Structure 1
């Protein structure tokens, strides 16, 4: 039976960006949410900035928490569900970390006992404040917090994979204590899947939390290498969805495409709508997709300084809350889509060893083989090389054929047909 996929957007306030928490204006938030609801979307992901909400380890500002609740209630009035990110963390090239973790108080975000206590208290407090709201979808621990744990961050908080395991378990547990039974999760940028020395691993992404989140950005080398209308660029989000399934223990674990956007100039403004249509259509061909949440709702105001150029134009709507072509495209998909993907019966074997993740990255043999298969119409998924002969696992996922990257023949233009 066809079913609905959730369609939403990452909420970037039209006034003041995420600094709006410093001058919270509920009427402005309501107007923003009206413009989102008018697109026919059903949820938003919102971002309290951690140092604004918890400026001292022992102070979680009640007024800030109250304002978050007001935002969630305003969303409910407009038929919008809300997922709340906790530890911001990192957004649009800026780091937002409380002073009690930096410089003179430098402590590791993932291993210091006092920092862990403060983080857990904060996440538990936010979750508890929203636990009785029927439109509260649950907590995401933070936005791409893995970028703090390794290079290329200029001052990383180093940790081992085992320490990250413990951190994830404790923080997700804190969310559960605050709001029992809600689908809490964590989310990382694609270094989790692609970077050999990243302590946040694919297995953690696919096994911790209620569902797997993937963030798809084609400025990671995909569009540079293959071009804006190539198979890899237009199917990159679908690739990450299917790549994540290799590590999942649940053969039908839901996957949330939690961030995806059309970054200029790799995706020029005049091509953004076509890229959006292709990306969404290809993601909808992936079984077990929970939802698609676009980045982002409103453009960043040109009155704000020092953002990378691409960040200013990613919105579905302008600063004046007018829908752009990309917004109208996503609105049509949300309104008109049918979700009934056939099983993906061909699986490409991927290395279970996290030290070999770069094979799955742009330019790696697994990455390139996946898109050669895609260009040939094979609709591939992935399976760990350690599970490639596990008949029960393959049967549970509907896989009837497993191939390795060296068994995939070349296709015209190396799988990058335009």
Structure 2
């Protein structure tokens, strides 16, 4: 959430930020609400002061035997109280509307975020390795996986509907190996691992910016609770409402969890295979940093995700998202795109974002550093995929496929898979070896 004082004092900057994001805001309505709110606060404070003064007179008038004047003063106090109650009700309604208004304003892009209209204006920063050159016609992972008996789309659909998949045999082992490899790497680099709940309350989804804007993409369960779309939601809100010790920053957290997304706005996109599923496993990175350190922490988080792909020897490129393609809560984002032969293109596999104090303001996460400043300030929060196992599995299957339909297991994963070097056709009646 943006600082209301900043919005009030710098509306031209808000105009420019919203224009860069290819959206708009109702500037006139904001100032109408904000002006009425401040006028109401002043009037209520005046009434309270008058009420206090009149209340003090009542006792003195009674002691002086001026009962008639005392009763008149009581009537005046009651009238003031009635007026104040009406105004406080109006103030509460305006506060609620202002909160809803502010909750729908996206973050202001960082100065380093490229200005552009849509994904076509994103800026490529770098590439690593080159796509493989096959001596045969490569096949898509959805065909390879079915033939190898490690992806079962029919049974996934039978159990849960479209965009659900059953992983079997070596497919299940590969998913588990990836998660362990990702987590072990992050932990070795100073991240603390968590296993948070996958069901969270409404205010937790609000804290990271999933609500109210993206409610249609979320799975609603129970009594106004939600299945998490990413572990970012739970990890960031671990410190909701808290004041952190500045000496402890930056904090680096990681978690591997199931993730759930309705994908309401993605009809027809990536419907084949395991690129865009309603349920998938992802290892997430989250950081809490001082404002002056958050840009560096974004760079190191992106490098952490890149390191995973480098160790897997998967070709990728890094893209700096432009203002028109930036996520709601982010001020700067790098997307990492892995090469997928079935698309003959790079596809997003990780997104690393610096949200500034946007999420911290919504979730009320502050820090204290008495050697630098008095009081408290909002931390900066960052998040990044490190990585989703499904998309990584698809990339491995397609880039490591062999002409006979088998898949070579990347060397770095073999210790996690009992030394298995190749996923081959299953024996009769079995699942992928």
**TM-score scaled to structure 1, two decimals?**
0.26
Larger relative contact order (CA 8 Å, sep ≥ 6):
2
Structure showing greater radius of gyration is 2
TM-score if structure 2 supplies the norm length?
Answer: 0.25
Q: Which has the higher strand share?
A: 2
